[in-house]
Structure 1
Amino acid sequence: MPLILPVKDKNPTWGSDCYIAENATIVGDVIMGDNCSVWFNAVIRGDVNYIKIGNNTNIQDGAVIHCTYMHAGTDIGNNVSIGHNALVHGCVLQDNVLVGMGAIVMDYAVVESFVIIAAGAIVLEKTVCESGYLYAGIPAKKIKPITDEQREMLKRLPNNYVMYSSWFKE
């Protein structure tokens, strides 16, 4: 069973057809939409502020979603893929975003729609990642526009995770 805990009378909630792995942790003020998946060893910790997650979003293995006490909640849009071991903290991820494996997105950053954050990149505090671009490096910098194929991948990848999660619900 996943670890699902209230914090200060706030219980995590999620919509229909979500998959939460047996060893995932979700605590506190977390609201998640429909068709989301939270994979093995992922942690969504809404203990010190809120975390809002849209529909068709996947939080992959070992990822951590957190926020900052009294300052920065975390807002994650629809059709977002957060890669293995990524850290998303007190920021905004708009729709159709990919946060690559091991990437970090820090407080008050805004990642606009149709952005790819490369694996291992670090998006510093208050950075705005402009829609339609790939960001990479430490600190993350705008590298180049995403291609039409990458834009389609950003639309397709979340649906793949809806399919993968169905294998565990059978």
Structure 2
Amino acid sequence: MPCYAIEGVIPVVDPSAYVHPTAVLIGDVHVGPNCYVGPLASLRGDFGRIVLHAGANVQDNCVMHGFPQQDTVVEENGHIGHGAVLHSCIVRRDALVGMNAVVMDEAEVGEQAVVAACAFVPAGMRVAPRTLVAGVPAKLIRSLRDEEITWKLTGTQTYQDLTRRSLASLKEVQALTQAEPNRPRVQAPEVKSLIASKRG
């Protein structure tokens, strides 16, 4: 992975974490145990500290950055969807930030809360635990149901499994020119979308 020190401060990655080779880590970055950092993610600890606690995932094309002397933190089992941007904020334990959402300076996403895809959480906003916010700017939609909390945790555990699968088998290769006969499928665990889960 491209990994850079700045002013002698070197990123720290736990050996049980997986950071994709195209992700970029700069400076004061701490990636904890069993974390997943996806392709083209940018974790820039060149101003403030960037911290991923155990089991968190930051998916492809995400950006984490912050102001000087301010931390940007994803707590245990935090789940940051594709293309999200986090800046000088904190995402509490078991919370989810949806795809292409933005969480701004000194905002806090509470435990087990969900920020909907494409939402904009403005500076200083407090998202209450176990709630759903959506929109631009983000507004409270409702409290989350137990089955939604369980669905989120299942998705996060899938990324923790992907961490282990990637450490064990992901490698750069040359593409085939055509699919081989009886082509195998990737052996990922089955996860239903929330809509499919509701249908039973």
- Normalised to the residue count of structure 2, the TM-score between the two structures is 0.81
SS of structure 2 residue aligned to 1:167: helix
Provide structure 1 residue ranges, at least 5 long, that are not aligned to the other structure: none
| Structure 1 position 154, deviation (Å) | 2.6
Distance 2:165 2:49 in 1: 30
Taking every aligned residue pair, what percent have the same amino acid on both sides?
A: 31
Q: Could you say what secondary structure the match of 1:151 adopts? A: helix
> Whose relative contact order is higher, 1 or 2, with alpha carbons under 8 Å and at least 6 apart?
1
DSSP-derived class of the 2:33 partner:
coil
The structure with the largest strand share of the pair is 1
Between 1:52-61 and 1:7-16, the stretch displaced more is 7-16
1:12-161 paired onto structure 2 within 5 Å: 12-70=11-69, 72-161=70-159
Which string of whole-angstrom CA distances, capped at 9 and with x for unpartnered residues, describes residues 86-141 of structure 1?
00010111100110000000000011101000000000000000001000000001
CA distance in 2, matches of 1:20, 1:92: 21
Q: Equivalent residue of 2:73, what SS?
A: strand
State the structure with more CA Rg: 2
Aligned partner of residue 164 in structure 2, secondary structure: helix
Counterparts of 2:101 and 2:140, CA distance in 1: 15
RMSD: 1.0
* Rounded Cα–Cα distance in structure 1 between residues aligned with 2:16 and 2:105: 30
Question: How many equivalent pairs are there?
Answer: 168
Matches of 2:160 and 2:118, distance apart in 1: 25
Structure 2 SS opposite 1:79:
coil
The Cα shift of 1:20 comes to 0.8
Residue of 158, 164, 167 corresponding to 2:165: 167
Between the aligned partners of 1:4 and 1:92, the Cα distance in structure 2 is 23
Alpha-carbon displacement from aligned partner over 1:3-39 (angstroms, at most 9, x marks no partner)? 1111111111022311111100011101121000110
Q: Which residue identity lines up with residue 27 of structure 1 in the other structure?
A: I
Q: Report the Cα offset of residue 149 of structure 1.
A: 1.1
Runs of 4+ displaced beyond 4 Å: none
Task: Flag structure 2 segments of 5+ consecutive residues without an equivalent.
Answer: 170-200
